[in-house]
Every structure is written in C-alpha cells, then in structure tokens.
C-alpha cells in the first residue's frame, strides 16, 4: 500500500519520459499487429471465412454503429452490465465486511466463496433461463454472482490488512461506528478493495457478454453470436471489436478512477 501511494520523489521527469516511451512502443505493437492482420487476411494466408481484414471490420463498424439495432443492443448490454455490477457491489462489500467482522463466519464460508470463484457459473444459465425466461434476468444473476465474489473477498482481505493502530486510534478518539467505517476503515481499505471492485466490473462485463453470446434476444454479445452462427464473419468481428473497445474503455476509466481515489481519498 505504501509503495503505491508514495509519490515519485526522485527524478519525476525521467520517469515521465520512460512512461511516454513505453506508451509509444505499445502503440507501435498494436499498429504492427493490425498491419500483420491486414496483410495476412488480404493475401489469403488467413482464410477470410475466419477473419476479415481490419479495414473491412472498420468499414463494417461504421455502417453498424449508426443503426437503431446497434443502439438497442449497446443499451441493453450496458444496462445489464451496470445492473449486475451494482448488485455485485451492493452485496459484495457488506458480505466482505461481514466476513471480516465475524471471523468464524469467514472461516466457514470462505471455501464456499472461493469455490464459487473457481466454478463455471454459466452452467446454471440454462436452468435460470427456464425459471426466469429469455430476458436480462438470468444474465444479471450470473454476471452479478461473478462480480460479487472478487469484491467480497478483497473487501475482507483489505479490512484484515488495516494497520491495527488505526483501530486503536479510532477507539481512542471515541469515533462513532459510522465515523469508524467512513473516516477510517473504508478509506484505509480502498487501495486494496479497489482492485477487487475493478475485477468485479470486468467479471460483470465478461459474464454479460458471454451469456448473451450463448443465448439471448438482444445485446452486443448476442449479435456477435448470431453472426457467428450465420457465418457472417465480417459482422461477427465488428461486434467483437465493439466488445474489445468497450473492455478497454471500461478498464481505462477504472484505472483512472483508481489513481484518483488513491490520491484524493476523502
């Protein structure tokens, strides 16, 4: 925690230059990869029934994005992700607090939770579909349960990792339970909880898109799966590109938020 929150004191300028160089190399790799894909697909080294040239994907995207159907799919997927993530957060954090507050419960329940982490929950999808019907409900249940686990586990671990002296300090100034949680525990635990929250969000994205891909009536994942089954490679890749862009975007926002929270907590 210390290492992460410590500002770079020595030679900050050089560090910035290093970061800039790394980012340039990173972009060069991306551009090179896209160029290689373009070349191999154009020359037929990769069959166009598997992968279409990136330029074609881009053109396809340009024609898809303005359509009403795309708007509906994107809105459906985004609201599903956000709902699942919110449920994961609202249940995961209190669950983590409970596991920390009642260590006996933590010892008993932790194996279940860790197993839940390792288990392919998507296997329950057909059952949920049968019970809840073909709508966003089953997807939300699966994605929320996937999202909840890393959030709960990191919350518990983060609270356990708080320096004991902070409990003593809060106690010595007679902090109320509310002050104890809001002014001491959560701020102290945030740097450790946040990676779990980030993971929870990513799991919500994966869960949503994967379930949509398997079976749904709407959504970006559904559309990619639909074109896959239709053998429409160009449209399938266009939707896959949408998912990739969405993931990168979400991750960038979360990383930015993580840095801000660390710097300006409370």
Partner 1 sequence: MSHISPIDSVGHDSDVVFDNIGMTFGTGTGSTQAVANVSGAIPEGKFVSVVGPSGCGKSTLLDMVGGLLKPTQGTVSINGETVTGPRKDTAMVFQEDSTLHWRTVLDNVAFGLEVKGLPKTERYESARRMIELVGLSGFEDHRPGQLSGGMKQRVAIARALAMEPRVLLMDEPFGALDQQTRQFIGRELLHIWEKTRNRVLFITHDIQEAVYLSDEVWVMSARPSVVKEVVTIDLPRPRPEGTHSLPRFRELEDHLWALVKVEAEKTLGPGARLA
Choice from 10, 112, 172, 229 touching partner 1 (CB under 8 A): 172
Can residue 48 be called a binding residue for partner 1 (CB under 8 A)? no
Binding mask 115-154 for partner 1 (x = CB under 8 A): ----------------------------------------
Instruction: Establish how many alpha carbons lie within 13 A of residue 35's alpha carbon, considering only the half-sphere containing its beta carbon.
Output: 6
Choice from 91, 175, 214, 234 touching partner 1 (CB under 8 A): 175
Contacts of 238 (CB under 8 A, 6+ apart): 57, 60, 61, 64
Can residue 109 be called a binding residue for partner 1 (CB under 8 A)? no
Pick 168 or 259: Cβ nearer partner 1: 168
Choice from 82, 183, 214, 228 touching partner 1 (CB under 8 A): 183
Cβ pair 137, 87 in contact under 8 A? no
- Angle 186-214/220-229 helices, nearest 10 degrees? 30
**At closest approach, how far in Å is the CB of 154 from partner 1?**
17
Distance separating alpha carbons of residues 69 and 52, to the nearest angstrom: 22
Choice from 86, 160, 190, 247 touching partner 1 (CB under 8 A): 190
Q: Which stretch binds partner 1 (CB under 8 A): 17-25, 174-182, 196-204, 248-256?
A: 174-182
- What DSSP string runs through 42-53? HTTSS-TTT---
| Long-range contact set of residues 51-56: C-beta below 8 Å, sequence gap at least 24 | 51/233, 51/237, 52/233, 52/234, 52/237, 56/234
Binding mask 152-171 for partner 1 (x = CB under 8 A): -----------x-xx-xx-x
Distance separating alpha carbons of residues 148 and 197, to the nearest angstrom: 9
Pick 6 or 229: Cβ nearer partner 1: 6
Can residue 179 be called a binding residue for partner 1 (CB under 8 A)? yes
Can residue 11 be called a binding residue for partner 1 (CB under 8 A)? no
Distance separating alpha carbons of residues 242 and 62, to the nearest angstrom: 11
Distance separating alpha carbons of residues 161 and 168, to the nearest angstrom: 14
**At closest approach, how far in Å is the CB of 256 from partner 1?**
18
List residues binding partner 1 (CB under 8 A).
Answer: 1-2, 5-7, 9, 163, 165-166, 168-169, 171-176, 179, 183-184, 187-188, 190, 262, 265-266
């Amino acid at each position: 925690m210390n290492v992460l929150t410590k500002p770079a004191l020595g030679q900050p300028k050089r560090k910035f230059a290093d970061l800039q160089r790394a980012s340039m190399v990173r972009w060069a790799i991306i551009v090179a990869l896209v160029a290689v894909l373009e070349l191999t697909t154009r020359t037929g080294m990769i069959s166009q029934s598997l992968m279409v040239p990136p330029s074609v994907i881009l053109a396809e995207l340009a024609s898809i994005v303005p359509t009403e159907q795309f708007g509906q799919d994107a809105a459906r997927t985004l609201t599903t992700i956000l709902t699942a993530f919110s449920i994961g957060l609202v249940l995961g954090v209190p669950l983590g607090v409970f596991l920390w507050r009642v260590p006996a419960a933590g010892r008993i329940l932790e194996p279940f939770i860790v197993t839940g982490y390792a288990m392919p929950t998507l296997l329950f999808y057909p059952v949920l579909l049968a019970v809840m019907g073909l709508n966003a409900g089953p997807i939300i249940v699966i994605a929320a349960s996937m999202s909840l686990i890393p959030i709960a586990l990191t919350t518990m671990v983060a609270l356990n990792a708080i320096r004991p002296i902070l409990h003593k300090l809060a106690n010595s100034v007679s902090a109320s339970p509310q002050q104890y949680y809001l002014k001491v525990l959560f701020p102290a635990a945030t740097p450790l909880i946040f990676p779990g929250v980030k993971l929870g969000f990513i799991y919500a994205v994966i869960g949503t898109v994967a379930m949509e891909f398997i079976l749904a009536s709407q959504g970006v994942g559904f559309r990619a799966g639909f074109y896959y089954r239709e053998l429409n490679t160009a449209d399938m890749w266009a939707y896959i590109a949408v998912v990739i862009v969405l993931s990168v975007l979400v991750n960038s926002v979360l990383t930015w938020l993580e840095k801000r929270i660390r710097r300006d907590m409370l």
